[in-house]
Amino acid sequence: MKKKTTIYDIAAKLNLTAATVSRALNDNKKISENTRKLVKQTALEMNYEQNTLARALKSGKSFNVGVIVPRMDSNFFASVIRGIEEELYPQGYHVIICQTHDQESLETGNINSLLNAQVDGVLMSISNSKANGKVFDSLFQKQVPLIFFDRKRDMEGISSVTIDDFDGAYTATKHLIDQGCKRIVHLSNNRSLEIFRDRYAGYKQALLDHGLEFDENLVIESASKIDEGRRITKEFLEMEHRPDGIFSSSDFTALGAIQEIKAHGLKIPQDICVVGFSNEPFTRFMDLSISSVDQSPIEMGRLTAQVFLEEVNNKKKLKTQKKIVLKPELVIRKSSQR
């Protein structure tokens, strides 16, 4: 049982030709019912398994797709990937996961790497839109479908699956206003990314729509890290007019903010209300559970995969660019419920 059995082996055994066997196995119409059954039967007996590599070489399809995320040890991305897998595995695809760790060089490197592995498509969440578009050109030229999820860049002809970040931010901010907050800080993030620009815009609009003053000084940008949340919060807690609400575009900075607020001896939600973004699991199981905006990541993954499948199966037709936008859901917990 050392060598794998090929279609030649089974052809020899049946006094047939490899071509016939191939056809029978692939349910070609022009093959007799008899031989089809016979072939499939003996294929089973001989433990035949299709050589993916050979098929790939012949067809130009590798049945691998690349997924690029900033990192995968966040529940959000891990869940998106899970959704993608659920949709793709049954179709015989495999998923190659790459992480960029928010480094532009890795982003470029990963795409080239995947291209080199001859993936049939790339599903990605970009880390940085300042990156020049050259990398995407190579995907374009090779006709490799590219689909963005969550963190996209607006590109002609490229599909994407995102959530309505504006709406999520607007709802969260309005919720804070409803709780009586008058001076609401926004912990933002790299606004070269659409999602953070949109959350910023939603926050701003909610303030304006409800007669609150918008103050640029109450918006602070940082990385999505606990420590950053602490550092920033420390600053504005020492302001003259102390804020009484925080809308953070990240659960991690929200957590940092909460820690710092407590360290200052202030009460949540009595003194300050806090809402985060992403609905990471820990927001639920903290003693002081954290309100957050859920992004239905599994659904997002599934949809992304579906869009990919459509594109890859329609290659002949015109590329139908699709922009799917999901509706986020605010989950209200202790950190903002007075």
Partner DNA sequence: TTGTACGCGTTATCAT
Partner DNA sequence: ATGATAACGCGTACAA
Residue ranges in contact with DNA by CB under 7 A: 3-4, 6-8, 15-20, 22-23, 25-26, 29-32, 34-35, 48-51, 54-55, 57-59
Site for its own copies in 35-64 (CB under 8 A): 49-54, 56-57, 62-64
Distances (CA, A) of 22 to 6, 31, 41, 49, 313: 10, 11, 13, 12, 22
Q: What is the DSSP letter of 289?
A: -
- 28 vs 138 by CB, closer to its own copies: 138
Binding partner at 128 among its own copies, DNA, none, C-beta below 5 to 8 Å by kind: none
CB of residue 47 to DNA, shortest distance in Å? 11
Q: Minimum Å distance from CB 130 to its own copies?
A: 24
CB of 242 to its own copies, least distance (A): 22
Residue type present at position 199 = R
| All residues at 6 or more sequence positions from 47 whose CB lies less than 8 Å from its CB, including other chains | 1, 5
Per DSSP, helices labelled H in the chain are 7-13, 18-25, 33-45, 52-59, 75-88, 104-116, 134-141, 165-178, 194-209, 226-237, 251-263, 281-285, 297-313
Q: Which of 173, 125, 174 is nearest to 152 (CA)?
A: 125
Minimum separation from the CB atom of position 81 to DNA (A): 28
- Report the residue number, 34 or 141, with the smaller CB distance to DNA: 34
Q: Of residues 261-300, which lie at the interface with its own copies (CB under 8 A)?
A: 262, 282, 285-288
Q: How many Å apart are CA 195 and CA 76, to the nearest integer?
A: 14
155 binds its own copies, rule: CB under 8 A: no
Which structure tokens are listed for 212?
Answer: 């609150």
Cα angle at 192 between 152 and 175, to 5 degrees? Answer: 80
Smaller CB separation from its own copies, 31 or 115: 115
201 and 173 Cβ atoms separated by less than 8 Å: no
Applying the rule CB under 8 A, the residues between 105 and 144 that interact with its own copies are 113-118, 141-142
252, 262, 186: which is closest to 223 by C-alpha?
252
Q: What residues does 69 pair with on adjacent strands?
A: 99
Least separation in angstroms between CB 18 and DNA: 5
The answer to the question of residue 25 lying near its own copies (CB under 8 A) is: no
Least Å distance, CB 314 to DNA, is 17
Binding residues for its own copies, per CB under 8 A?
Answer: 1-2, 4, 49-54, 56-57, 62-64, 71-73, 75, 78-79, 81-82, 85, 89, 94-97, 99, 113-118, 141-142, 226, 255, 259, 262, 282, 285-288
